[in-house]
Amino acid sequence: MQILPFKAVYPNFDYITSAASFFATVKEEYDEYYKSGFFLGKEEKAIYIYQIEHTGIRRTGLIASIHIEDYLKQQLKRHEDTIAAKEQRQIQLLLKRKAAVKPVMLTHPVVPEIDEFLQSFTLEHPVFFEVPIPEKDEIHRFWVVEAADDIAAITKLFEEKVPCTYIADGHHRSAALATLYHKLKDRLPGTFDHLLCAIFPASQINIWDYNRVLDDLNGISATRFMAELSAIADIKFRGEAFKPTRMHQMSMSINREWYEVSWKPELIEAYRNTGVILDTQLLNEKVLGDILGISDVRNEAGITYIEGPQGLEGIRRKLVHSPNGVAFCLYPVPFEAFVKMAESDQIMPPKSTWFEPRLVNGIIAHDFHHEM
């Protein structure tokens, strides 16, 4: 696939006294920040090496532009459906800002030659700018790749070694830009035709589990719930809190006791012809749907989603405030399963994955006016 240099816009830290406040508000207030001088623009088109350091772990990738036609040709493969209201909100923000303030995060299988380029470049060149974010215990670093031979080298590697990438985060932003491109390409040519992307190889991302806590059992008794669950899963008392160690196994807390829940083989077999079998799918359909009668998990107010990095402690905190609640901890979706689903056009249930690193609004932007 083709990655392209672009004219970057980045924060002017001479004016920023609180990074946390700036990054928290820039999504909505970018236009005012830009007009007031809170951003600097680089006149030369470039590609950027981007490194996020968090608790001593460094993850390194690229920031580049990708033509929206590549998205439309499905070279950026998706795994989520978009929600119309969220897509509309992204369209509204793009029209207001005329800028992308947060890259879409893409990933791809490891390519040793790309890893070698990133490593050698960061060792041989100074950091262009870096942003400490103490509240998150993070440092974000950027190196600018602007020499013609360096740009040619990295773009050639992607053309030859990376036939497609996979969207880890940013489905709504991608869909919104594609909509504006279709609607306005004749009236405003060149304005909404490039997608700002952060591209990390699989070795530099982590797919965490995404867990659920239900406020209650939706009107049925714990005894009935356990009886109906036992018809589709093997349940073992475990005493202490734990996280599952394989796919098709969950840990569950109910009445402040912890259990190991493993789907029965006949249930897995019944789903065999549906493609990749995700535990989120089985949980949504067989437990939340069939047993508890929750038909729309995406909009169910009684479900709280707890991302994996919060650990078991995050689940315990929620259960303290939901004494009648039940918690489900799921095993993280393996990268290979994530890729297989995207390749086969399967759509994951909502809140199936939590990707790291997490990107920050406004730390680098693509202002369409600045590009022209």
Instruction: List pLDDT tens digits, range 193-241.
Output: 999 999 999 999 999 999 999 999 999 999 999 999 999 999 999 989 9
189 pLDDT tier (thresholds 50, 70, 90): confident
User: 184 lies in a domain?
Assistant: yes
Residues 28 and 174 in one domain: yes
Residues 92 and 225 in one domain: no
User: 3 lies in a domain?
Assistant: no
Mean pLDDT along residues 76-95: 90
| φ, ψ dihedrals at 138, nearest 5° | -130, 150
Domain that includes residue 56, residue range? 9-205+357-371
Residues 196 and 111 in one domain: yes
Q: Is 28 exposed, middle or buried (0-12, 13-18, 19+ CB in 10 A)?
A: middle
Tens of pLDDT, residues 330-358: 999 999 999 999 999 888 988 899 999 99
Tens of pLDDT, residues 279-338: 999 999 999 999 999 988 877 889 999 999 999 999 999 999 888 899 999 999 999 999
Tens of pLDDT, residues 133-157: 888 899 999 999 999 999 999 999 9
Q: Is 4 exposed, middle or buried (0-12, 13-18, 19+ CB in 10 A)?
A: middle
Find the CATH number of the domain harbouring 286: 3.30.1760
Are the CB atoms for 192 and 337 separated by under 8 Å? no
Query: How many domains does the chain divide into?
Result: 2
Lowest mean pLDDT among 78-82, 177-181, 262-266: 78-82
Mean pLDDT along residues 81-95: 89
Higher pLDDT residue, 39 or 191?
A: 39
Residues 350 and 361 in one domain: no
Among candidate residues 39, 23, 37, the one with its CA nearest the CA of residue 367 = 39
372 pLDDT tier (thresholds 50, 70, 90): low
Find the CATH number of the domain harbouring 113: 3.90.1530.10
User: 72 lies in a domain?
Assistant: yes
Confirm whether pTM is higher than 0.85: yes
User: 270 lies in a domain?
Assistant: yes
